[in-house]
Chains A and B, each alone.
Chain A
Amino acid sequence: MSSFSSSPTSHWPRRLAVLLVCATFPLIWVGGLVTTTDAGMAVSDWPTTRGYNMFLLPIGEWLGSGWKLFIEHSHRLFGALVGMITLLLAAAIWRWDGRRWMRYLALVAVAAVIFQGVLGGLRVIEDERLLAMVHGCFGPLFFTLAAAIAAAASPWWRSAPGALRLADGRALTILAWLTAAIAYAQLVLGAQIRHVPLSAALGWFDVVVFFHVLNAGVLLAHVVWLWRRCRRTKLALVSAPSAWLVAILAGQIALGGATWVVHFGWPQFLQDRGLGAGYVVQAQSAVQAAVTTAHVALGSLILALSVLVALRVSRLAWVASNEPASQKATEDSRTTARRVAAAPAAPVRAMELAT
């Protein structure tokens, strides 16, 4: 069965994949809140919670034992829910999706969600912040995997590429995947700052902050470059998410600065000019928790979006390079015609393209 000519026999894989994405994103927020409010060790047993089966903890104890237990146990329950959705998604893909690689991807998702859950549990049992950091770095990968499955399960993935032609596919594919890799490196660097060990040498934190800031600049340059290249394709499928990527990254950089301020206060050079000199950092305040957690969650969103762009670009490039020459010529002319229609202000150039 050709991978892009097959038609879906059910909408359930796509629906469940979208549900998984929608459930995993808030789970990342809740997980971020656990770390931000240092609630990771509020419950010292796992997979039980205070000796109870995780699902049978009395509601009174869950809601009435303070914020830390509430958020940690909520994170566990939410994680379990995401695990169940992943199992359902895998079952649906095995039942209705004929693509072998898609089935393997579903198995990888099941393995990943189990691994992530065990990592979280081990972090509690071993009381090891290093595991918390790995757990924090793996969560966004799972979220990205869920987004990738949702993209691959979409009707567009199966049908639309046949009608489109992506010029310079190879260069754009490399650029998109490189951007995704830089986004992930940025996330790992951020996790190093967030989980800096008490035993770290004095220069460690400085080095990580330096590279986090440096990599933010590199990522911004890459994302803007990717957006410009995607915009040139005039394909909304890639130009729209890449534009979102630029907007979200701009917000993320602002959030990064805000995260610093709510933890360490305003920089001295601004205080000397009267800005923020009277600001008192409020430990674990709602603002501090919200800003920091939003910074963490947006990092995951940026990674997932950049992978989405990379997947779509790769798909278009793959289709363009594998379709029969006669079909390619037809599609080229169709695409050119669309471009002509899309660019009425440049009729001469459009005619040149058409010929």
Chain B
Amino acid sequence: MNGRLANMIRRYVDGAGRGRRRAVLLLCAAMLLGCANSDVQFRTNRQGKRNNASNLPAQKQEKLVDGLVAAFGTPNEPFVWSGTALDGAKLRRAAGPVKDGSGLYREHCAHCHGVTGDGLGPTARFLNPYPRDFRHGTFKFTSTGQGMKPTRDDLRRTLQEGIAGTAMPSFKVALSEEEIADLVEYVIYLSMRGEVERDLYAAVDDDDEIGADRANEAAELIEPIKEAVEQVASQWNDAQEQVFNPPPRQRPDTPKDLALSIERGRALFLGAKGLDCTKCHGVTALGDGGNIDYTSTNPETDEVMKTTPDKAAELFALALRPAAPRNLRLNVFRGGRRPIDLYRRIAVGIKGTPMPGRQIVQEGDTPEAAEKKLTTEEIWNLVDYVLSLPYEPASRPQKLPTDHRAVN
């Protein structure tokens, strides 16, 4: 009874718009009835490849859900086909209710990222940036090449170090290395499940003859599921061995060499070789370039905003926000502030954001082709410039000394 009432309340909110009167009613009703619902389930994709999955006819929705349960299990009992190379024991420790030996994800992650990993946890709307939606398989800060999945080590690093200036915490204190590895495995599992769901959506939507026998209908999806799982799993597995490591660098020996490198970096930043850093970061590097871009983990986002912005509220659960270019003078770099981190941000980009990767000059490139690309040294010049920005006088305005002893 209580569950039904809670569901009614949820439906009411989902379709309610955002009227204050309804909010008050919701608050009172839930306080009286209790708003908890212990029946935790994966949510169907509200941002499917073509449309809102909840718009599918009921039978097609059932078929989609049955297929996904067959392929990935449930939040309480996850499992995956052996071809994914995911560790079942780790998944079981991370999944399920919060208890001794299980429930790490629900305890530490689900309130922001959601049980489904769709970035729609209860707190999501308050956070800036929004929590990551794992279902697109796109993660911002990776050590792998452009368009590639992250390595497990990339995800481990994000969990361990957190992301400065965001709600993504560091779990160094809260979790052991084993527990972090369990969570990494579960994040990959949710990401694979989300991507397979998006592929299956098309298969189910195209099916014109849905029968009444649910078991048969789900069985029809086994082959498409297998194909989709294998494809996604191979992307993840390939990424583990394709870390993008720049060739070793000869660091500038003297302050003069470093100043020279910074100067070259500044010229590149301001537009040499056709770089358009200032379009977003601004000439001042304060992040005030003025370019507005909605590109996010969902490739449809920018398209929708440019073609039918009035449909955005219908298609996306969270109000879209323009991407915020980094103020490079704050000395805070969310993907890490080691030189190698900044090198990767410039070379590979920040995935799922307007920050692009760059083409790097390879051996055998023609002079014309090389002219349009960056050399490794030029990327290091840019790194030196970016790392010098917080220490420029413009970033740290100095007061005139008032105490004569300070002068001496």
| A206-B40 in contact given A41-B99, A277-B330 (Cβ < 8 Å) | no
CB neighbours (8 Å) of B31 from chain A are 188, 192
With beta carbons under 8 angstroms apart, the residue of B98, B124, B171, B173 that contacts A202 is: B124
How many contacts A-B (CB < 8 Å)?
149
Residues on B lying within 8 angstroms of A by beta carbon are 6, 9-10, 13-14, 16, 18, 23, 26-27, 30-31, 34-40, 97-100, 103, 106-108, 110-111, 114-115, 120-128, 161-175, 317-318, 327, 330-332
Whether B173 contacts A268 by the Cβ 8 Å rule is no
CB neighbours (8 Å) of A205 from chain B are 122-123, 125-126
| A198-B106 in contact given A188-B31, A206-B125 (Cβ < 8 Å) | yes
When chains A and B are docked, how far (Å) is the Cα of A202 from the Cα of B123? 7
Q: Does A61 contact B (CB under 8 A)?
A: no
With beta carbons under 8 angstroms apart, the residue of A196, A206, A277, A281 that contacts B170 is: A281
When chains A and B are docked, how far (Å) is the Cα of A210 from the Cα of B19? 13
Q: Does A207 contact B (CB under 8 A)?
A: yes
Whether B165 contacts A199 by the Cβ 8 Å rule is no
Q: Does A350 contact B (CB under 8 A)?
A: no
Q: Does A55 contact B (CB under 8 A)?
A: no
Whether A263 contacts B126 by the Cβ 8 Å rule is no
Whether A278 contacts B13 by the Cβ 8 Å rule is no
Having A127-B97, A271-B165, A278-B164, one finds 20 other A-B pairs with CB under 8 Å, namely: A40-B98, A41-B97, A41-B98, A129-B36, A197-B37, A199-B6, A199-B37, A199-B38, A202-B120, A203-B125, A204-B13, A277-B164, A277-B165, A278-B165, A278-B331, A280-B163, A282-B169, A283-B108, A283-B170, A284-B173
When chains A and B are docked, how far (Å) is the Cα of A40 from the Cα of B174? 15
When chains A and B are docked, how far (Å) is the Cα of A200 from the Cα of B14? 11
When chains A and B are docked, how far (Å) is the Cα of A279 from the Cα of B331? 12
Whether B98 contacts A130 by the Cβ 8 Å rule is no
Point out which of B35, B318, B331 has the most chain A C-beta atoms below 10 A from its C-beta. Answer: B35
Q: Which residue of B lies closest to A185 (CB)?
A: B31
Whether A127 contacts B27 by the Cβ 8 Å rule is no
Whether B127 contacts A264 by the Cβ 8 Å rule is yes
Whether A207 contacts B26 by the Cβ 8 Å rule is yes
Whether A128 contacts B38 by the Cβ 8 Å rule is yes
With beta carbons under 8 angstroms apart, the residue of B36, B125, B165 that contacts A266 is: B165
When chains A and B are docked, how far (Å) is the Cα of A192 from the Cα of B124? 16
Q: Which residue of B lies closest to A207 (CB)?
A: B23
Chain A: interface size category: 35 or more
Whether A199 contacts B173 by the Cβ 8 Å rule is no
Whether B98 contacts A38 by the Cβ 8 Å rule is yes
Interface residue SS majority, chain A: loop
When chains A and B are docked, how far (Å) is the Cα of A196 from the Cα of B122? 7
CB neighbours (8 Å) of A74 from chain B are none
When chains A and B are docked, how far (Å) is the Cα of A331 from the Cα of B38? 60
Whether A206 contacts B162 by the Cβ 8 Å rule is no
Distance in angstroms from B392 CB to nearest chain A CB is: 14
With beta carbons under 8 angstroms apart, the residue of A44, A188, A207 that contacts B100 is: A44
Q: Which residue of B lies closest to A260 (CB)?
A: B126
Whether B167 contacts A198 by the Cβ 8 Å rule is no
CB neighbours (8 Å) of A284 from chain B are 173-174
Q: Which residue of A lies closest to B16 (CB)?
A: A203
Whether A282 contacts B26 by the Cβ 8 Å rule is no
Whether A202 contacts B317 by the Cβ 8 Å rule is yes
Whether A198 contacts B111 by the Cβ 8 Å rule is yes
CB neighbours (8 Å) of B168 from chain A are 281
Whether A198 contacts B330 by the Cβ 8 Å rule is no
With beta carbons under 8 angstroms apart, the residue of B16, B111, B318, B332 that contacts A277 is: B332
When chains A and B are docked, how far (Å) is the Cα of A263 from the Cα of B170? 11
When chains A and B are docked, how far (Å) is the Cα of A30 from the Cα of B59? 50
Q: Which residue of B lies closest to A137 (CB)?
A: B31
With beta carbons under 8 angstroms apart, the residue of A38, A130, A264 that contacts B36 is: A130
Q: Does A208 contact B (CB under 8 A)?
A: yes
Point out which of A40, A134, A263 has the most chain B C-beta atoms below 10 A from its C-beta. Answer: A263
Q: Which residue of A lies closest to B41 (CB)?
A: A199
A117-168 residues at the B interface, CB under 8 angstroms:
127-130, 133-134
Distance in angstroms from A216 CB to nearest chain B CB is: 15
A-B contact pairs, 14 of them (CB 8 A): A38-B98, A127-B38, A127-B99, A128-B38, A199-B36, A202-B125, A203-B16, A205-B122, A205-B123, A277-B164, A278-B330, A280-B170, A281-B168, A282-B173
When chains A and B are docked, how far (Å) is the Cα of A17 from the Cα of B125? 46
Distance in angstroms from A164 CB to nearest chain B CB is: 39
Whether A280 contacts B13 by the Cβ 8 Å rule is no
Whether B10 contacts A282 by the Cβ 8 Å rule is no
Whether A278 contacts B10 by the Cβ 8 Å rule is no
Distance in angstroms from A308 CB to nearest chain B CB is: 26
Q: Which residue of B lies closest to A281 (CB)?
A: B169
Distance in angstroms from B86 CB to nearest chain A CB is: 23
CB neighbours (8 Å) of A40 from chain B are 98
Q: Which residue of A lies closest to B337 (CB)?
A: A278
With beta carbons under 8 angstroms apart, the residue of B16, B103, B164 that contacts A280 is: B164
When chains A and B are docked, how far (Å) is the Cα of A134 from the Cα of B13? 23
CB neighbours (8 Å) of A192 from chain B are 30-31, 35
1/0 per position for A249-279, CB-CB distance to B under 8 A? 0000000000000011110100110101111
When chains A and B are docked, how far (Å) is the Cα of A76 from the Cα of B114? 31
Q: Which are the 5 A-B pairs with shortest beta-carbon distances?
A: A130-B36, A284-B174, A281-B169, A201-B13, A283-B169
| A280-B162 in contact given A199-B39, A268-B128 (Cβ < 8 Å) | yes
Distance in angstroms from B327 CB to nearest chain A CB is: 7
Q: Does A326 contact B (CB under 8 A)?
A: no
CB neighbours (8 Å) of B103 from chain A are 41
Q: Which residue of A lies closest to B331 (CB)?
A: A278
